[in-house]
Chains A and B, each alone.
Chain A
């Protein structure tokens, strides 16, 4: 695998060690042990890994194809809702109202039967592919409408933001059939195993790590070869690629759709770990936050984007505990600081430092 460089291997090994280590220390050691990884920490790491995958998906379109999507939160949320629907149907008769088929909120709204689009979600064989297919289909449609009309730059960003906003409003409505305001929650189990069980928690963490690794390999494979060079060419000089005979819109639609499916996978893994999905996941601010993770970590570096997601979310977890009202200011300040002082992001900056250092050493020696 010549396309997987040293950095990539280190990243994958570190990821395996982190996930495997956390799970092992959580399951094998007694709670009294100093090295025991507490349950909440397992959940937290799993959540971070989902965010890292989400960041990766944004970096693929923004860092390489120059598509600044401010709507990727929507793809994440759709993946999450698809998973949430499966989890809802898994509750079965154990809901508050004990209805054999209808989820609680439908009984509460006095619905008599399951809406057609809820059918099939009781089966994991249907629901899991939907976690990718629904965001993928929306992204394809979005790309078909915008990229083919040659919408680029700020206009595209605004439209993507409008898309997630519109979806948020739609999902807030009770008659949409997705639980309105409250979203989907009170999940019981997945694949017949209790969601709150230790094994499930560990399994979800490992699955998130595997998804992140898979997502990274996919992004790396797509960007390291000629396809990736065409993407960068489109990013930097779209007109030129047309006159060379490329159709940039096809490249963009493809990469945007793949990216949305990655975001959907992240959402689908996220929901069982946090136990809820509601329309606030569609909020425009969420999508902007993802872009900030990528900017902090280093646009176009993939690994940087993943690290950025973890870094910023760690800071967020820490700060929302200490001073929650400060978070948005900190996030905004962070974005400005990064844009001004570390425009290439943490990883991008390290890489260029290394190049400069090597150049200096080369000229000395």
Chain B
């Protein structure tokens, strides 16, 4: 790994990002460098700032300071959620959120790439290649035979998958996935890990936040450990777990 790669090559580049809530620093001069096609796991204790980092990248929270650049070009701190999503950043929430009143298929349809503006949506028709893309994704997330069921009827794990599927149909260049394994059985967890490994690559980078160390090990990728809003360590899982500071944070108290 090159130590100081150029900013313009980064899929995502965070520099000295600080977010404070009433004086409490949820993120404290956080930096991150994500390569195109990279799969990255982010770990850290509760309240470390993992979800806040995703909020900043997706435009939900504006940082007080710092820089967030997409492909070295787009300054994400100036854009709103919809614009950032339009640039190809997809996000799965920590708590699965799908549109419960809609069928699985319709959930994917709403996520499909299309003109998002209200006046065009009025006349929207589902084209056959989009339909085909939805069918493919249904296959990938193993929900083909539930396609016409209301999403509200899915199990917790299936909702997580559907939400990942909603990201996939958009063909995003960056996926942010917050705790995908929560509420999944061990088998589902492992299948999710291999799914995410398959998704990453080419031009598509993926950031996964997760507590489950088995899952992170299965991802077999570079790991960033956060603590109190700043980066504590970065490297392979083994290197990070052997890091003094990390051991201190996880076991020291």
CB of A76, distance to nearest CB on chain B (Å): 24
Q: Could you mark each residue 90-112 of chain B with 1 if its beta carbon is under 8 Å from any beta carbon of chain A, else 0?
A: 11010001111110001001110
Given A222-B122, A233-B110, also A244-B101 (CB < 8 A): no
Given A236-B99, A244-B85, also A226-B118 (CB < 8 A): no
Contact indicator A232/B99 (Cβ below 8 Å): yes
Interface residue? B116 (CB, 8 A): yes
Which B residues are in CB contact (< 8 Å) with A254?
118-119
> Of the 9-residue stretches A3-11, A53-61, A187-195, A245-253, which lies at the interface with chain B?
A245-253
Contact indicator B99/A226 (Cβ below 8 Å): no
Interface residue? B121 (CB, 8 A): yes
Minimal Cβ-Cβ distance residue in A for B113: A245
Given A236-B101, A242-B82, also A225-B119 (CB < 8 A): no
Which A residues are in CB contact (< 8 Å) with B58?
243
Minimal Cβ-Cβ distance residue in A for B169: A244
Which A residues are in CB contact (< 8 Å) with B106?
229
Candidates A237, A243, A250, A251; contact of B99 at CB < 8 Å: A237
Given A229-B106, A232-B102, also A243-B118 (CB < 8 A): no
Candidates B90, B93, B121; contact of A226 at CB < 8 Å: B121
Minimal Cβ-Cβ distance residue in B for A235: B101
Which B residues are in CB contact (< 8 Å) with A243?
58, 60, 81, 85, 90-91, 93
Report the count of interface residues on A (CB-CB < 8 A).
22
Secondary structure type dominating chain A contacts: helix
Contact indicator A239/B97 (Cβ below 8 Å): yes
Interface residue? B140 (CB, 8 A): no
A251 to B85, CA, bound (A): 17
CB of B58, distance to nearest CB on chain A (Å): 6
Which B residues are in CB contact (< 8 Å) with A241?
110
Minimal Cβ-Cβ distance residue in B for A230: B121
Given A240-B93, A243-B91, also A229-B102 (CB < 8 A): yes
Given A226-B110, A243-B58, also A232-B118 (CB < 8 A): no
Contact indicator B99/A245 (Cβ below 8 Å): no
Selected A-B contacts with CB under 8 Å, 22 pairs = A226-B110, A226-B121, A229-B109, A230-B110, A230-B121, A232-B101, A233-B102, A233-B110, A236-B101, A237-B99, A240-B93, A240-B99, A241-B110, A242-B82, A243-B58, A243-B93, A244-B116, A245-B170, A246-B82, A247-B116, A250-B118, A251-B121
